[in-house]
Amino acid sequence: MASMSKKAEKGTVGSKWAKFKRYLPLYLMFLPGAIYLFVNNYLPMTGIVVAFKNYNARKGIWGSPWAGMKNFEFLFASPDAWTITRNTLLYNVVFIILNTVLGIAFAIFICDALSKRMKKVYQSAILFPYLMSAVILGYIVYAFFSQQTGIVNNSILPALGMDEIAWYQKPEYWPFILVFANTWKGVGYGTLIYVSAINGIDPSLYEAAKLDGARKWQQIRYITLPFLIPTIITLTLMSVGRIFYSDFGLFYQVPRNSGLLFPTTNVIDTYVYRGLMETGNIGMSAAAGFYQSVIGFALVLLANGVVRKVSQENALF
């Protein structure tokens, strides 16, 4: 009895070691990146503590006196707290949905382009806006919507027999403008990733489907989309983690910091920037970041849990 269990134990230890040996190269491959992440991301993470401190440069991060939750108060002290939270969440949800749906659609269209040359043109064009900084995007939007000199007010509206509109004073138009601007600028990112995923599909699958007489949309429905699901899930889960963050440039530069547009353009990041611009309080900006991360973290854990229930292998962890 005793010897048996001893034998069994030895057996597991031995197989564990063998298993480890077999996987050792994989761990070694993981190592360089892990070291970098440790240095670049984990070492500075001590800074999160600053969110709970009255930061003192000469005493350092840990030597500074504690501040409790005081640094967080400004996030909720404003009557705008609800507006900025709502805006941040709604825009992100719309962005995630649109970028996924359009990204997949464009990727499929690109892969079915009439010729290789066309494919190249589409592929290059769709990425170009991604290169543009928010400041310049702001100028381009302004070129269209400026009240005095904009193309819309000067050329398009008069041609339609409509009065000019003070675009930068009317918050109701901005959800559309911002969503369009974000899609215009950002859809290329997802598209290229989906293109590469589609390129990884075994062409013989499509050929077999064609032989079976499957129509185009059936091929998409039964071959392409199922194959893209892991990519969609990964991208979405990662976006959910950053759902309390927003592209600062898009919400600050593009509406040109116009106060009257705040009801539909103010998000957490712009609120924090405006609030701390003058004083530059390190503890308060750390607090804002921590708040955004914690909510994102909680939501990701939740979403990942749901994914794991449905399909274990598509969960992130």
Partner 1 sequence: MKEKPFSPYQIVTNAIMIIWTILIVLPFLLLFMSSITQEQVLVSNGYSFFPKELSLDSYKYILRSGGTILRSYGVSILVTVVGTLINIILSALMAYPLSVKNLPGRNIMMFFVFFTMLFNGGMVPSYIVWSNWFGIKDTIFAQLLPNLLLSAWNVMMIRTYFQTSIPDTLYEAAQIDGATQFRVFRSIVLPLGKPILVTMGTFAGLAYWNDWTNGLYYISKDKTLYNVQNLLNQMVQNIQYLSQSSDANMAAAASTIPTTGVQMAIAFVAILPIMLIFPYFSKYYTKGIALGAVKG
Partner 2 sequence: MKKRLLALTLTLMMASATVGSAVTVSAEEEENVTVTEYGEYTEEEPYHLVFSYIDFYPQDAAAREAVQEALNEYMIPKYHIEVEFLPLEYAEYQTQIQLMISGGDELDIIPVYYTNASSWIAMNGIVDMNPYMETPEGQAIIDALGEANAYVGQMGGVLFGFPAAKESVELGGLCMRADICDELGLTEKYNLGANKDEYTGEVYDWSVATEIFKEVKEKYPDMTPLYLQGNSSPARRFCFFDELADQFGVLDWEADHDSTTIVNEFETDTYKEFVTLLAEWYDAGYIYKDAATDTQGTAAMMKAGNTFSYPSAIKPGFLVEANAANGTDCYAMYFGKNIEGGYSTTNVSFFDTGIATNSMDPDMAFKFISALYSDPVVMNFWQNGIEGVNYQVLDDGTAYFVEGEGAANFKYHLNSGWCMGNQFISYVWNDGSKTADYWDQLAHHNDWAQYSPAFGFMWDSSAFSTQIAACSNALNQYRPALETGSVGVEGVEATLQALNDALYASGLEDIMAEKQAQLDAWIEANGGSTETPAKNQELIASIDHGVLTGNE
In 3D space, the residue among 5, 184, 201 whose CA is nearest the CA of residue 95 turns out to be 184
**At its nearest, how many Å lie between partner 1 and the CB of residue 79?**
26
**At its nearest, how many Å lie between partner 1 and the CB of residue 6?**
24
Indicate which of partner 2, partner 1, none lies near residue 285 (CB less than 5 to 8 Å, by partner kind): partner 1
Name which of 219 and 266 has its Cβ closer to partner 2.
266
Q: Which of residues 35-74 bind partner 2 (CB under 8 A)?
A: 38, 42-46, 49, 54-63, 70, 73-74
Indicate which of partner 2, partner 1, none lies near residue 86 (CB less than 5 to 8 Å, by partner kind): none
CA atoms within 13 A on the CB side of 77: 10
Q: Which of residues 110-149 bind partner 2 (CB under 8 A)?
A: 146-149
Query: Please, which contacts does 54-60 make with residues 24 or more away whose CB atoms are closer than 8 Å?
Result: 54/283, 55/281, 55/282, 55/283
Indicate which of partner 2, partner 1, none lies near residue 189 (CB less than 5 to 8 Å, by partner kind): partner 1
Name which of 148 and 204 has its Cβ closer to partner 2.
148
Q: Of residues 25, 32, 79, 203, which one binds partner 2 by CB under 8 A?
A: 79
- The phi, psi pair for 258, rounded to 5°, reads -75, 120
Quote the CA–CA distance of 220 and 214 in Å, as a whole number.
Answer: 10
Residue 154 sits in the site that holds partner 2 (CB under 8 A):
no
Indicate which of partner 1, partner 2, none lies near residue 299 (CB less than 5 to 8 Å, by partner kind): none
Helix intervals (H) in 160-267: 174-199, 203-211, 216-219, 225-241, 248-252, 262-265
Indicate which of partner 1, partner 2, none lies near residue 275 (CB less than 5 to 8 Å, by partner kind): partner 2
Alpha-carbon Rg for the chain, nearest whole angstrom, is: 26
**At its nearest, how many Å lie between partner 1 and the CB of residue 8?**
19
Q: How many CB atoms lie within 10 A of CB 64?
A: 19
Name which of 83 and 257 has its Cβ closer to partner 1.
257
**Do residues 246 and 92 lie in contact, with contact meaning Cβ atoms separated by under 8 Å?**
yes
Indicate which of partner 1, partner 2, none lies near residue 70 (CB less than 5 to 8 Å, by partner kind): partner 2
Q: Of residues 97, 125, 260, 298, which one binds partner 2 by CB under 8 A?
A: 260
**Do residues 241 and 297 lie in contact, with contact meaning Cβ atoms separated by under 8 Å?**
yes
Q: Which of residues 168-207 bind partner 2 (CB under 8 A)?
A: 168-169
Helix intervals (H) in the chain: 2-37, 60-63, 73-77, 81-111, 116-127, 134-145, 151, 157-159, 174-199, 203-211, 216-219, 225-241, 248-252, 262-265, 268-276, 282-310
**At its nearest, how many Å lie between partner 1 and the CB of residue 266?**
19
Quote the CA–CA distance of 189 and 99 in Å, as a whole number.
Answer: 9
Indicate which of partner 2, partner 1, none lies near residue 74 (CB less than 5 to 8 Å, by partner kind): partner 2
Q: How many CB atoms lie within 10 A of CB 268?
A: 24
What character string, x for contact with partner 2 (CB under 8 A) and - otherwise, covers 263-282? ---x----xx-xxxxxxxxx
Q: Of residues 183, 236, 258, 293, which one binds partner 2 by CB under 8 A?
A: 258
**Do residues 198 and 224 lie in contact, with contact meaning Cβ atoms separated by under 8 Å?**
yes
Quote the CA–CA distance of 72 and 86 in Å, as a whole number.
Answer: 18
For partner 2, how many residues bind (rule: CB under 8 A)?
51
Indicate which of partner 1, partner 2, none lies near residue 101 (CB less than 5 to 8 Å, by partner kind): none
